[in-house]
A and B are shown apart, each in its own frame.
Chain A
Amino acid sequence: MKDCRLKINGKNYNVQVEDKWTLLYVLREVLGLMGTKEGCGTSDCGACKVLVDGKAMNSCTLLALKLEGKAITTIEGLGSSDKPHPIQEAFVEAGAVQCGFCTPGMIISTKALLDQNSNPSEEEIREGLSKNLCRCTGYVKIIDAVQLAAKKVKELK
């Protein structure tokens, strides 16, 4: 076990980790941050996406020890049901949530996309979410949600 200092959702954590432990393992099994989901463990589905220095990355294949000094944001860092982030509100209002297992990862990818491009076209949204799999929605209402989120985020600025 090695010492590992992680900055997650603006808070510093000192954890003991093994070399091979992924960020996802540390989030869920060590820190109890269960909002980030494991859908594949092979970096293919995007359910485990978190922001690492603003970039949406699959936490199931990122080694925790390599993330010291980086700013990590998980779904819990965006908002809560008492104070949801506009993207989270948009996913609810657009009917984009069904089983919800892909939703935290989708919302993280949406955050990264909208931070880069505040007014994405439908094609840019489809590209931006192409690393996140959803089995329930056919992506139709997820795309609506991202368009609604872009509007909401812009209104806030």
Chain B
Amino acid sequence: MNNIIGSRTPIDDALAKATGEATYTADIKLANMCYGKLILSTIAFGKVKSINYTEALKIEGVIDVLTYKDFPNIKYNSALRFKDHGILKTETVISETVRFVGDRIGLVIAESLAIAEKALKLIEVEYEEYKPVFDEEEAATSSIQLHEGLNNKVGTISTGADAETVADLISKADFIIEDKIKIPMVNHVSLETYSVIGEYRSKKITVYASTQNSFAVRVLISDVFNMPLNKVRVIQPTLGGAFGGKLEVVTELVAAGAAMKVKRPVKIVLSRKESMIASRTRNGATIDVKSGVNKDGTIVATDFKILINTGAYVGSGMNVIGAMSHKLLKAYKYPLRYTGSPVVTNTPIAGAMRGYGSPQAFLGMNLHIDKIAMTLGVDPVELNMKHIVDKNEVDILAFGNPELKACVTRGKELFDWESKKKEISKFNKKNQDFIRGIGFGIGAHGAGVYPAHQDCVNLLLRLNEDGSFNYWSASHDMGNGSLTAQKMIMSEVLTTDVEDIEATQVNTETCPWNLGDYASRGVFVEGQGAYKLADAMKNLILETSVLKFKVHKEALSIKDKKVWLDDKPLGSFGDIAVYAQTTLQKELSVLVDHHSIAGRTSYGAHFAEVEINRENGAVKVLDYVAVHDSGTIINRYGIEGQLEGGIHMGIGYALSEKMTFDEKGNLLENNLKKYQIFKSNEMPEIKVDFIETGDNGGPFGAKSISECATVPSAQTIINAVANAIGEHTNTIPISKEEILNIINK
């Protein structure tokens, strides 16, 4: 071993980012570039009657104002993953019918951003208004119809135990416990807002975009503008965070179409408010969950029903419901039935966000089970342990080797759960001003797309004359370090340093085809591809050495970037590359493909202690422990960083983050003052640990972390608050007012 796997390695572009030298999409300036500002709907539902932009055009420096008449009226689904992906198409590039406050109705193009902003203010839009519907429950049965020929409740997926068995088991149980849980939409709040540049030159479109899904963007541009795929190039500059929010096409088609119209590069960078209303969100949800429980503390069956708010267009709706449908079944081993439906409403479009349905599903289940534990007067950790999956117990092809129980056991120990229980009870008896509570939550999420659809990657590696390597992978590193992990995997196999491998950023014209970066596939799928790639390169180096040194391949090995015959170095990798160029007249490069043939699930168990101010209801998180089973750890910095960030997101989900709307459909939390993510002085100390048994199918036994990191966290905090105040609130985030109401009952 080269001791790279499991080390603490900074992300490969850390220095470029720390010095301000990294180039994000918004940092790019092309020659003759102009600037676009979107005209967004100010009403929730209606039809654009007229757009008056006469005054805007009078401003010096305004180039054009484009509306729906300037773009193809072709429907698409922004969540498309690959050519002919059969998902419902409901969206158009620019709309005549608007379905939420923030729907795109046009674009102002000007010589500078300042002029475009000035012109935007002068544009007057007249609408024919319709009555909107905002809540998923209401929309599911409402007579208001958002899309012609489509039910608001788009479809339903059921999985798990059959309905009759579950109903029968529940009816025969000692108690029936039911919960209704409301979860609001939330926002990714990537610090980099959605940014794009469209360029049209010599009948070819180039789009620079803050995207996680370049090849799918290429397909959509080709489909909508009827362009051959080889005349569409998508480039992903440095990404300033994504969390799933940059998976779907948002402004790429607008920029491409605008560039074709004005024959100049057009840059569109969304403001924070625009990014919050007009990109993507995490689905709000209404959960109805019912369990039959026996006196001995056995949950005999659970009927879990969920409606998710997918926003104004179908987008990812069915996909999120589908992905969610089997997550609970990977964590619980007793009869459980899942039924889920996406519902369209007149709110911003929902899409992928870290966990893709898992956070809502596990939040609902964990709250419900915690409430059952409270009702029975039993320890919630023990109650969960009776019902969650065992190691090697489940379908090995679909799940792999779950170490969830080991996570719970280790976490309980690290958190000192039993002592904390006693300390808290003592504290709460003595203290008049504060109440403390402890909480627990679990979560699971997949590694890769299997079995939803094909999950494959193609990768290319070249050995240079000095022994360094160039690596082409259309792997979108969002700051999560997937490229760094892939380089570490290859370095381990090739006995090089990580710095010896230079990775390109995604460019659909130069990189081999890949799916987008979603489903936590950066290590498990792309990383395994990188392993195969490095192994193929190693083989090529050895085979070339056989020709150069006239020795048997079996006697050769590689170490320290050299080829060895037993314990004697024969030559450096660079020597072999030069030999190939000069004598064999070729370069040493390999192209491999890899596809995932099995699903693996990552697990986590979280524990938290909170303190509540009796006077104002404020919650302070005092202590936090998280233990995850992500298989073998590739980069310890990477996995810790992902987990710590995921916890931050979950704490916000529990206590402060929400997207709510006024009666006209305007987002109330439309800036980062009102939409509150946790600050450095509000975060607790976080302790993280890992069960490193490993699993097969991924590189060196690795699975995934990125999405799973956030899945158990919100419910951990909510359950800790419930433990403190003696009652669960069924609406999140928990407000100070609700806490005070419960305390003062």
Q: Mark A80-122, 1 if CB is under 8 A from B, else 0.
A: 1100100011011101011111111001000000000000000
A91: which of B18, B29, B640 is its contact (CB, 8 Å)? B18
Residues of chain B within 8 A (CB-CB) of A42 are 272, 671-673
Residues of chain A within 8 A (CB-CB) of B645 are 98, 134-138
B584 within 8 A of A: no
Of all chain B residues, which has the CB nearest A78? Answer: B19
A5 within 8 A of B: no
Are B241 and A99 neighbours in the complex by a CB distance under 8 Å? yes
B20: which of A92, A104, A140 is its contact (CB, 8 Å)? A104
Contact A135 to B241, CB < 8 A, known contacts A95-B10, A95-B641: yes
Interface residues of A, CB < 8 Å — how many?
60
Are B680 and A129 neighbours in the complex by a CB distance under 8 Å? yes
Q: Which of A28-42 touch B at CB < 8 Å?
A: 28-29, 32, 34-42
How far apart are the CA atoms of A8 and B539 in the complex, in Å? 53
B191 within 8 A of A: yes
B145 within 8 A of A: no
Interface-facing stretch out of B398-406, B476-484, B525-533 = B476-484
Are B681 and A101 neighbours in the complex by a CB distance under 8 Å? no
Are A133 and B243 neighbours in the complex by a CB distance under 8 Å? no
Are B640 and A95 neighbours in the complex by a CB distance under 8 Å? yes
Contact A41 to B271, CB < 8 A, known contacts A88-B18, A101-B190, A141-B644: yes
Are A76 and B20 neighbours in the complex by a CB distance under 8 Å? yes
Q: Mark B1-37, 1 if CB is under 8 A from A, else 0.
A: 0000000101101111111111110110100000000
Of all chain B residues, which has the CB nearest A76? Answer: B20
State how many angstroms separate the Cβ of B472 from the closest Cβ of chain A.
Answer: 22
How far apart are the CA atoms of A91 and B242 in the complex, in Å? 21
Are A102 and B20 neighbours in the complex by a CB distance under 8 Å? no
State how many angstroms separate the Cβ of A55 from the closest Cβ of chain B.
Answer: 19
A141: which of B27, B238, B637 is its contact (CB, 8 Å)? B637
Residues of chain B within 8 A (CB-CB) of A99 are 17, 190-192, 239-242, 478-480
Are B191 and A102 neighbours in the complex by a CB distance under 8 Å? yes
Residues of chain A within 8 A (CB-CB) of B601 are none
Are B112 and A35 neighbours in the complex by a CB distance under 8 Å? no
Are B637 and A95 neighbours in the complex by a CB distance under 8 Å? yes
A130: which of B17, B637, B680 is its contact (CB, 8 Å)? B680
Q: Which of A60-88 touch B at CB < 8 Å?
A: 74-76, 78-81, 84, 88
Are A138 and B479 neighbours in the complex by a CB distance under 8 Å? no
B686 within 8 A of A: yes
State how many angstroms separate the Cβ of A14 from the closest Cβ of chain B.
Answer: 19
Residues of chain A within 8 A (CB-CB) of B10 are 92-93, 95, 97
A53 within 8 A of B: no
How far apart are the CA atoms of A78 and B679 in the complex, in Å? 25
Are B20 and A34 neighbours in the complex by a CB distance under 8 Å? yes
Residues of chain A within 8 A (CB-CB) of B24 are 34, 37, 101
How far apart are the CA atoms of A88 and B11 in the complex, in Å? 14
A45 within 8 A of B: yes
Contact A98 to B480, CB < 8 A, known contacts A29-B113, A137-B641: yes
Residues of chain A within 8 A (CB-CB) of B646 are 138
Are A101 and B191 neighbours in the complex by a CB distance under 8 Å? yes
Residues of chain B within 8 A (CB-CB) of A41 are 271-272
A143 within 8 A of B: yes
Are B191 and A39 neighbours in the complex by a CB distance under 8 Å? yes
Q: Which of B151-201 touch A at CB < 8 Å?
A: 188-193
How far apart are the CA atoms of A103 and B11 in the complex, in Å? 13
Are A139 and B680 neighbours in the complex by a CB distance under 8 Å? yes
How far apart are the CA atoms of A88 and B10 in the complex, in Å? 13
B649 within 8 A of A: yes
Are B114 and A135 neighbours in the complex by a CB distance under 8 Å? no
Of all chain B residues, which has the CB nearest A98? Answer: B479
Are A130 and B679 neighbours in the complex by a CB distance under 8 Å? yes
Residues of chain B within 8 A (CB-CB) of A107 are 18
Are B673 and A97 neighbours in the complex by a CB distance under 8 Å? no
Residues of chain B within 8 A (CB-CB) of A35 are 19-21
Residues of chain A within 8 A (CB-CB) of B243 are 135
How far apart are the CA atoms of A104 and B671 in the complex, in Å? 21
Are B673 and A130 neighbours in the complex by a CB distance under 8 Å? no
Of all chain B residues, which has the CB nearest A87? Answer: B18
How far apart are the CA atoms of A88 and B19 in the complex, in Å? 7
Contact A88 to B480, CB < 8 A, known contacts A41-B271, A99-B241, A130-B680: no
Contact A141 to B641, CB < 8 A, known contacts A37-B240, A41-B271, A100-B479: yes
B282 within 8 A of A: no
Are A38 and B22 neighbours in the complex by a CB distance under 8 Å? no
Q: Which of B110-125 touch A at CB < 8 Å?
A: 112-114
B435 within 8 A of A: no
State how many angstroms separate the Cβ of B411 from the closest Cβ of chain A.
Answer: 17
Are A34 and B23 neighbours in the complex by a CB distance under 8 Å? yes
Are A75 and B478 neighbours in the complex by a CB distance under 8 Å? no
State how many angstroms separate the Cβ of B10 from the closest Cβ of chain A.
Answer: 5
Residues of chain A within 8 A (CB-CB) of B272 are 39-42, 45
B17: which of A100, A123, A131 is its contact (CB, 8 Å)? A100
Of all chain A residues, which has the CB nearest B652? Answer: A135
B683 within 8 A of A: yes
How far apart are the CA atoms of A6 and B456 in the complex, in Å? 52
How far apart are the CA atoms of A97 and B478 in the complex, in Å? 11
Q: Which of B201-246 touch A at CB < 8 Å?
A: 238-243
How far apart are the CA atoms of A130 and B677 in the complex, in Å? 11
How far apart are the CA atoms of A45 and B675 in the complex, in Å? 11
Are B672 and A40 neighbours in the complex by a CB distance under 8 Å? yes
Are A103 and B683 neighbours in the complex by a CB distance under 8 Å? no
Which of A29, A44, A132 gathers the greatest number of chain B CB atoms within 10 Å? A44
Are A138 and B644 neighbours in the complex by a CB distance under 8 Å? yes
Of all chain A residues, which has the CB nearest B240? Answer: A101
Contact A135 to B641, CB < 8 A, known contacts A81-B19, A81-B21, A88-B19: no
Q: 19 pairs across A/B with beta carbons < 8 Å? A: A21-B114, A25-B114, A80-B21, A84-B19, A99-B240, A100-B13, A100-B238, A100-B479, A101-B191, A101-B240, A102-B191, A130-B682, A133-B679, A134-B648, A135-B189, A137-B644, A139-B683, A140-B644, A141-B640
Question: 3 tightest CB-CB pairs across the interface, nearest first?
Answer: A35-B20, A99-B479, A100-B17
- Which residues does B use to contact A, with CB under 8 Å? 8, 10-11, 13-24, 26-27, 29, 112-114, 188-193, 238-243, 269, 271-272, 478-481, 637, 640-641, 644-649, 671-673, 677, 679-683, 686
- Which residues does A use to contact B, with CB under 8 Å? 18, 21, 25, 28-29, 32, 34-42, 44-45, 47, 74-76, 78-81, 84, 88-89, 91-93, 95, 97-104, 107, 123, 125-127, 129-143
Given A29-B112, A78-B19, A81-B16, 11 additional A-B pairs, CB 8 A: A44-B672, A75-B19, A88-B18, A100-B18, A101-B240, A129-B680, A135-B649, A136-B641, A136-B645, A138-B645, A141-B637
